[in-house]
Structure 1
Amino acid sequence: MENILTITGNVKFTITLDPGVWIFDDRRVDLTTYFSQVKETSDSVEAYTKAVSKHWDREIMEGAIYPPTLKTEKKFEKEKVLTGTFGIPFKPFLLNSEPAPEAKSLIVHTTTEEIEFPLETAYNLILGYSKNGKPLTSNGPVHIYYGDGSNKDTPITNVTRFTIK
């Protein structure tokens, strides 16, 4: 039960977070490269169009059969998941909790302190949940990284819950 986190407080819905299942989430980001990459801002329609276009081009070039290159890509992706260091953006979870219009801040509760963030800043936080393919058990279940990566070497650890105030 110590691996389960909650978002409570001035929200419409209390959210329960289980970092153990995020390894299967498509929103995961590779923390070894995330903060060094150039951030692209694109809308979902543009991203969908590019993905469909890429798939269509592949079918035209290689045919609609299951080419061997796809098998090796899946094997590489599986290996990456089992050995990678990953995090997930916090924003979707905050949006799902539907903070009240008068909510102004997020309090991160750790085993030793409470850290308060303005809600606008909290939307950019990244929750790290695995290191080298292993869950963060000793000082986890999550590590909190600022969206700009300014604390990537010293993230907030020992997080126990979140409260919207």
Structure 2
Amino acid sequence: MIVPITGKVTYPITLDPTVWIFDDRKIILEDAFLAQASSPDTTNELEKAAKRWDRELQQDVVKPPVNQSINKFEREKILTHSYVMPITDFLNHAEIKADAKNARLETLQGDVVLSISDLQKSYLLFAMNGKPLKEDGPVHLMYRDGSNKNNPITGVKKIVIQ
């Protein structure tokens, strides 16, 4: 149930989607695509990105936000929703090398090649109805624009930056 990111990266990393259910960066699947459709204003997005950048520069050590405690209501809510995780933070931590052009996704059905740009603009679906994706997982890749929402790239087992 792990997904390595290897290849033309400074730091090969291993993703463990089973713990993301407790990560504050997760997004409810339905909300992920609603936010995309309702915010066509790129100026607002640039302002948000600038604020995030400023916040990260002010921190000594960048740590992912993780829920400290979960009450009963939140626990029940977690077990009913489907969730995606933006892949951007993980790619930033791996530090993709400048000469990288593509990403090869090793899946249960065979390899899928996509551009680094498309990969960075993606979500990883890791939980359906609060449960990990066991049969066709550990993760599915969905583009943030929702173009493959009904037909995601399933069974992603490894991401190789080329």
TM-score w.r.t. the length of structure 1 is 0.77
Q: Following TM superposition, by how much is the alpha carbon of 1:103 offset from its aligned partner in structure 2, in angstroms?
A: 0.8
Structure 1 runs of 4+ with >6 Å offset: none
What residue in structure 2 maps to residue 138 of structure 1? 135
Q: Which amino acid aligns with 2:11?
A: F
Once residues 141 and 4 of structure 2 are traced to their aligned partners in structure 1, the CA distance between those partners, rounded to angstroms, is: 15
The 3-state SS of whatever aligns with 1:12 is coil
> Within the alignment, does 1:5 sit opposite 2:19 as a pair?
no
Where does 1:79-158 land on structure 2 (aligned, <5 Å)? 79-158=76-155
Q: Following TM superposition, by how much is the alpha carbon of 1:44 offset from its aligned partner in structure 2, in angstroms?
A: 6.3
Once residues 155 and 130 of structure 1 are traced to their aligned partners in structure 2, the CA distance between those partners, rounded to angstroms, is: 14
Q: 1:15 aligns with which of 13, 16, 23?
A: 13
Q: Following TM superposition, by how much is the alpha carbon of 1:43 offset from its aligned partner in structure 2, in angstroms?
A: 3.9
TM-score w.r.t. the length of structure 2 is 0.78
Provide the aligned length of Structure 1 versus Structure 2. Answer: 139
What residue in structure 2 maps to residue 33 of structure 1? 31
Query: How big is each residue's C-alpha offset from its partner over 1:22-60, in whole Å with a ceiling of 9 and x where there is no partner?
Result: 0111110000221122246214648x99xxxxxxxxxxx
The 3-state SS of whatever aligns with 1:102 is coil
Once residues 32 and 77 of structure 1 are traced to their aligned partners in structure 2, the CA distance between those partners, rounded to angstroms, is: 17
Q: Which has the higher strand share?
A: 2
Q: Following TM superposition, by how much is the alpha carbon of 1:159 offset from its aligned partner in structure 2, in angstroms?
A: 1.1
Q: Which amino acid aligns with 1:123?
A: Q
Q: Following TM superposition, by how much is the alpha carbon of 1:154 offset from its aligned partner in structure 2, in angstroms?
A: 1.2
Q: Following TM superposition, by how much is the alpha carbon of 1:74 offset from its aligned partner in structure 2, in angstroms?
A: 5.0
Query: How big is each residue's C-alpha offset from its partner over 1:37-87, in whole Å with a ceiling of 9 and x where there is no partner?
Result: 2246214648x99xxxxxxxxxxxxxxxxxxxxxxx954433211211001
Q: Which amino acid aligns with 2:10?
A: K
The 3-state SS of whatever aligns with 2:127 is strand
Percent of residue pairs bearing the same amino acid type = 39
